[in-house]
């Protein structure tokens, strides 16, 4: 949520900032801006996308600057609320990601002291505090400012009289890129891929003074050393690579994601993870914590762990767990998050840890906040996911949860091995669905005409129905609800008409017969019925209006195939409706506010 970037070095800063902001657009896209410092401060900001602002920019030779892409929290999207924000003198510019909780109180104090504010944002207090404390030593002024701030932040400061960038972080991520006689800053590494592969991840409460020649990191007023690392992602991995949208590219990457996960997990060694920790959890129980799509992954994870590993499992929405009285000291707490930065999930993991739980993070992003909190981390290694709608990261999370269940399995080794054998076939089966993706388009063309749809299933595929509905609503703006098919008669039936299509995910498992009974009851209410079914299922043709086939697969793994179908259904429906697929209305990729 919100992205910040910065550059200091020998090149013109403006094009570098623009390029980096374009790469961060998935973090927010309601307004944007840059501040450049040559001999004087130049500020350019507006509502809308960075490509729009770029058209209005004239050349600027400044060699240092900062930039911001905004997802509004305090104040609507407007030019005044867009970052960077300035102090009264116009010499200090600040970009910020996070939330300053005590901004109102600070603003009142500063106003009483003669400062003037032009925006509704919490951020604007930061440049004014720096101005208040500045008497020739910028570092000291920023230290004093930080001491006044309550909340979360990653911010960058540009000052007309100081040839440095100063950055600080608390609970919001910040990474510094190291170049040859130039340095970069960004909220995440995808913004740096075009410029450098050498990075330093700042840690909690770090403060850094950055020049073109290097970085000095300070924590609690002591100089600290932070290891330089290589970015594990290629430049191409964050480009569309010929696809119309990032989301489509990421859907098509799933055979590789599954293949990579299998390569990593098949030995059951799980990239150095201490499996004993998980096995111990058998006697205690597992607490799964996540939000959004990642939460739906945990709902399947719960079923898998209970079914295969015979472990008692609780899957909790992180934002609810944080305010619940649930006591959890004897559990293994597993936080699942693509970004590793989701504020509710990080908070939930911290809460579980403080209660005495052992903790495990499942995340896609190296050095992310949940991996810093957790005792151990399982990286899903799906590569950068740029589309706001999670796709390949969900599949990668499912693979991690399958592995977790199998590796802590109470099932005999022989059965376990034969399940792993079946998993080896999954990449090809997913590829078959993708090769026939065009067959899904007519169903999407049908769905695109409606305003309400239901996704239903039972058992292992119920979480996939929930995920299908989430994908559909977030990118096509169709009101979609995921439902356990058995629950529909308890109220939802009142809504069923020929104007409410139902998408049913079936699987030849113990839920099949009863699910078909439910679908017949729905069909009797004249709903348009689209089913997702195995290629061997003849029965379904008798009453479904449309059948989308998936390759025959062990029902245990059918969620992985059905996931790809619901993603494609949502994608093509959104495309049919002309929606902004990669950057849906009002959404941001990583939700770093509660």
CB of 188 to ligand AGP, least distance (A): 11
Give the CA distances from residue 356 to residues 31, 322, 329, 373, in Å, rounded to whole numbers and listed in that order. 42, 15, 5, 13
Question: Residue 198's beta-bridge partner residues?
Answer: 230
Using CB under 6 A as the binding rule, whether residue 390 contacts ligand AGP is answered as: yes
Using CB under 6 A as the binding rule, whether residue 339 contacts ligand AGP is answered as: yes
**Catalytic one among 302, 350, 392, 589?**
589
Q: Which of 292, 459, 528, 555 binds ligand AGP (CB under 6 A)?
A: 292
Q: Which of 121, 162, 328, 342 binds ligand AGP (CB under 6 A)?
A: 342
CB of 465 to ligand AGP, least distance (A): 15
Using CB under 6 A as the binding rule, whether residue 389 contacts ligand AGP is answered as: yes
Name every residue whose Cβ is closer than 8 Å to that of residue 32 and which is 6 or more positions away in sequence: 21, 45, 46, 48, 49, 50, 53, 67, 68, 69, 70, 82
Using CB under 6 A as the binding rule, whether residue 409 contacts ligand AGP is answered as: no
Give the CA distances from residue 539 to residues 43, 312, 502, 517, 536, in Å, rounded to whole numbers and listed in that order. 65, 35, 18, 12, 9
CB burial class (10 A; 0-12, 13-18, 19+) of residue 143?
Answer: middle
Cβ closest to ligand AGP, residue 293 vs residue 359 = 293
Q: Which of 337, 359, 377, 506 binds ligand AGP (CB under 6 A)?
A: 337
Question: Residue 152's beta-bridge partner residues?
Answer: 99
CA distance 364 to 586: 23
Question: Residue 133's beta-bridge partner residues?
Answer: none
Q: Which of residues 293-322 bind ligand AGP (CB under 6 A)?
A: 293-294
By CB under 6 A, how many residues form the interface with ligand AGP? 15
Scanning 8-16, 52-60, 332-340, 505-513 for contacts with ligand AGP by CB under 6 A, the matching segment is 332-340
Cβ closest to ligand AGP, residue 291 vs residue 315 = 291
CA distance 580 to 474: 10
H/E element, 453: strand 452-457
Q: Which of residues 135-164 bind ligand AGP (CB under 6 A)?
A: none
CB of 424 to ligand AGP, least distance (A): 27
CB of 339 to ligand AGP, least distance (A): 3
Q: Could you confirm whether 589 is annotated as catalytic?
A: yes
Q: What DSSP assignment string belongs to 175-230?
A: EEEE-SS-EEEESSGGGTTTT-SEEEEPPTTEEEEEETTEEEEEETTEEE---EEE
Q: Which of 93, 257, 273, 291 binds ligand AGP (CB under 6 A)?
A: 291
Question: Three-state SS for 156?
Answer: strand
Using CB under 6 A as the binding rule, whether residue 591 contacts ligand AGP is answered as: yes
- Give the residue nearest to ligand AGP (CB): 292
Q: What DSSP assignment string belongs to 38-70?
A: SSSEEEEEEES-HHHHHHTPPP---SEEEEEEE
Question: Three-state SS for 520?
Answer: helix
Question: Residue 176's beta-bridge partner residues?
Answer: 185, 200
CB of 342 to ligand AGP, least distance (A): 3
Using CB under 6 A as the binding rule, whether residue 100 contacts ligand AGP is answered as: no
Pull the structure tokens for residue 75.
């104040």
Q: Which of 14, 97, 488, 590 binds ligand AGP (CB under 6 A)?
A: 590
Q: Could you confirm whether 2 is annotated as catalytic?
A: yes
Long-range contacts of 103-111 (CB under 8 A, 24+ apart): 103/74, 103/151, 106/148, 106/149
CB of 33 to ligand AGP, least distance (A): 25
Using CB under 6 A as the binding rule, whether residue 345 contacts ligand AGP is answered as: yes
Using CB under 6 A as the binding rule, whether residue 18 contacts ligand AGP is answered as: no
The mark string for 31-70 relative to ligand AGP (x by CB under 6 A, - otherwise) is ----------------------------------------
CB of 488 to ligand AGP, least distance (A): 23
CA distance 500 to 447: 9
Q: Which residues bind ligand AGP (CB under 6 A)?
A: 291-294, 337-339, 342, 345, 388-390, 474, 590-591
Residues catalogued as catalytic:
2, 589
């Amino acid at each position: 949520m919100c992205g910040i970037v910065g550059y200091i070095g020998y090149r013109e800063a403006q094009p570098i900032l623009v390029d980096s902001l374009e790469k961060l657009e998935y973090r927010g896209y309601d307004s944007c801006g840059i501040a450049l410092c040559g001999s004087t401060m130049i500020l350019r900001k507006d509502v809308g996308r960075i490509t729009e602002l770029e058209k209005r920019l004239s050349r600027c030779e400044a060699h240092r600057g900062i930039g911001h892409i905004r997802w509004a929290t305090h104040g609507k999207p407007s030019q005044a609320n867009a970052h960077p924000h300035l102090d009264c003198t116009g010499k200090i510019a600040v970009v910020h990601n996070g939330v300053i909780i005590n901004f109102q109180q600070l603003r009142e104090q500063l106003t009483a002291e003669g400062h003037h504010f032009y925006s509704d944002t919490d951020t604007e207090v930061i440049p004014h505090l720096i101005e208040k404390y500045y008497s020739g030593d910028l570092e000291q002024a920023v230290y004093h400012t930080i001491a006044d701030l309550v909340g979360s932040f990653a911010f960058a400061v540009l000052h007309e009289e100081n040839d440095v960038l100063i950055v600080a972080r608390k609970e919001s991520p910040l990474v510094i890129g190291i170049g040859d006689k130039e340095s970069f800053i960004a909220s995440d590494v995808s913004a740096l891929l075009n410029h450098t592969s050498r990075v330093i991840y700042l840690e909690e409460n770090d403060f850094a003074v950055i020049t073109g020649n290097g970085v000095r990191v300070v924590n609690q007023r002591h100089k600290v050393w932070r290891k330089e690392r290589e970015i594990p992602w290629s430049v191409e991995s964050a480009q569309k690579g010929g696809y119309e949208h990032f989301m489509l590219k990421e859907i098509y990457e799933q055979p590789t994601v599954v293949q990579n996960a299998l390569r990593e997990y098949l030995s059951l060694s799980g990239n150095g993870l201490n499996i004993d920790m998980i096995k111990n959890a058998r006697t205690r129980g597992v607490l799964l914590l996540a939000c959004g799509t990642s939460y739906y992954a945990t709902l399947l994870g719960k079923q898998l762990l209970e079914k295969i590993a015979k472990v008692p499992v609780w899957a909790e929405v992180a934002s609810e767990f944080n305010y619940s009285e649930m006591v959890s000291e004897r559990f293994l707490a597993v936080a699942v998050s693509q970004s590793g930065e989701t504020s509710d999930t990080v908070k939930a993991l911290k809460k579980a840890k403080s209660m005495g739980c052992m903790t495990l993070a499942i995340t896609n992003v190296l050095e992310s906040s949940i991996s810093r909190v957790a005792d151990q981390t399982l990286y899903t290694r799906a590569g950068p996911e740029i589309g706001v709608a999670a796709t390949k990261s969900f599949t990668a999370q499912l693979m991690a949860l399958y592995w977790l269940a199998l590796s802590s399995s109470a099932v005999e080794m022989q059965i376990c091995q034969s399940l792993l054998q079946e998993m080896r076939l999954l990449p090809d089966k997913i590829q078959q669905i993708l090769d026939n993706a065009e067959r899904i388009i007519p169903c999407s063309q049908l769905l695109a005409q409606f305003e309400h749809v239901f996704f239903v299933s039972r058992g292992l595929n119920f979480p996939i129905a929930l995920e299908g509905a989430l994908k559909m609503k977030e990118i096509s703006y169709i009101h979609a609800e995921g439902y356990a098919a058995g629950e529909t008669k308890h109220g939802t039936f009142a809504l069923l008409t020929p104007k409410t299509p139902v998408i049913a995910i079936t699987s030849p498992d113990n839920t099949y017969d009863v699910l078909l009974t439910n679908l017949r009851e729905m069909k009797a209410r004249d709903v348009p019925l689209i089913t997702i079914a195995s290629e061997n299922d003849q029965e379904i043709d008798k009453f479904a209006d449309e059948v989308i086939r998936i390759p025959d697969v062990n029902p245990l793994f059918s969620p992985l195939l059905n996931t790809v179908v619901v993603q494609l259904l949502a994608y093509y429906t959104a495309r049919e409706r002309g929606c902004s697929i990669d950057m849906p209305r009002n959404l941001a990729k990583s939700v770093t506010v509660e």
